[in-house]
Amino acid sequence: MRWKGRRISTNVEDRRGGGAKAGGISILGLIVAFIAWKFFGVDPQQAYQATQAVTSAQSSQGSAPQSLTGDQKEASDFVGTILADTEDTWTPIFQQLGMSYKPPRLVLFNGVVRSGCGTAQAAMGPFYCPTDQKVYIDTSFFKEMRQQMGISGEQNQTELSRQDQAGDFAQAYVIAHEVGHHIQNLLGISSQVQQARSQMSQTQGNQLSVRLELQADCFAGIWAHQNQQRTQFLEQGDIEEAMDAAQKIGDDYLQKRATGQVVPDSFTHGTSEQRMHWFQLGLKSGDINQCDTFK
Ligand SMILES: [Zn+2]
């Protein structure tokens, strides 16, 4: 898959490895504390603590962590490029529907993250939170996915440049699927399903959830179709790779990882056969009308 050199979205929030300031003494804080003491007679220790509280609140909200390794930078560039691709795909489609597309933000995190849907752990896998309209991804998930797919051993890594590394299309597919849930949120499909579920049995409700998941796969297919038209990004073997991923990150795999407070993107995604079918419908048609999984 080709991805370098395209636009990188500004909607990525990088919350990995921040906190470089934690525990350190901030010079600014000391200066402010000194001035407060000198001119306003405020206890310098109190003033210092107050400024520290402000700066740490600012740094936890900031989107750029202090020091990223080369691999981390590569990961955020990759994710930002795929997110930009989804923006460039869905903006014109929404225009055709007479709506304006409001892109989601995407949060990269390590270990644990606070989301609008509660606290989430990396072990849950990527998820979309409709409350804050953000996609959450722990990049270690990609690494695990690659191992799970057994991809690294199959290809001769030395022949692949970094950007052509195996598994990247499958990763892009996961991002596009999560953005698919955002589309459902914007179109009001998620809330309709939510409402219908409340008047159904558990089993019937789960069947609706499967349809929702399969539609997100179909929307991911639309992204692949439109992006191919626009950028010719697909390479030999990419589609097979995504199909393989759809098979291997099915329910059981994700469900095994799911623990904790947030209900992650793990319940009942449908069989791998269904997932492939709907992804391919989106991929071949590029048409949102083909993605009515509720019919
Ligand atoms: Zn999903």
CA pair distance 57, 91, nearest whole angstrom:
33
**Averaged pLDDT score across all residues of the chain:** 78
Closest residue by Cα to residue 3 from 163, 159, 162, 224: 163
Q: What is the pLDDT of residues 196-246, one digit of tens each?
A: 999 998 888 888 988 999 999 999 999 999 999 999 999 998 988 877 776
* Ligand 1 centroid from CA 172, angstroms: 14
- DSSP letter for each residue of 15-63: -SS--TTTTSPPHHHHHHHHHHHHHH---HHHHHHHHHHHHHHHHHH-S
With beta carbons less than 8 A apart as the criterion, state whether 99 and 128 touch: no
What pLDDT was estimated at residue 164? 43
What pLDDT was estimated at residue 271? 77
* Ligand 1 centroid from CA 244, angstroms: 16
Kindly state the percentage of the chain with pLDDT values over 90.
45
* Ligand 1 centroid from CA 129, angstroms: 11
* Ligand 1 centroid from CA 269, angstroms: 7
Q: Three-state DSSP class for 115?
A: strand
* Ligand 1 centroid from CA 99, angstroms: 23
CA pair distance 258, 271, nearest whole angstrom:
18
What pLDDT was estimated at residue 249? 61
Strands 12-14 vs 105-109: parallel, antiparallel or unpaired: parallel
* Ligand 1 centroid from CA 181, angstroms: 7
Q: Three-state DSSP class for 112?
A: strand
* Ligand 1 centroid from CA 295, angstroms: 19
Residue 77 is encoded by which pair of tokens? 């560039």
Residue 100's pLDDT band (boundaries 50, 70, 90)? very high
What pLDDT was estimated at residue 264? 43
Q: Which residues surround ligand 1, an ion (CB under 5 A)?
A: 213, 216, 265
Question: Which whole number is the average pLDDT over 168-186?
Answer: 94
Is the per-residue pLDDT at 294 higher than 90? yes
* Ligand 1 centroid from CA 175, angstroms: 10
CA pair distance 252, 202, nearest whole angstrom:
19
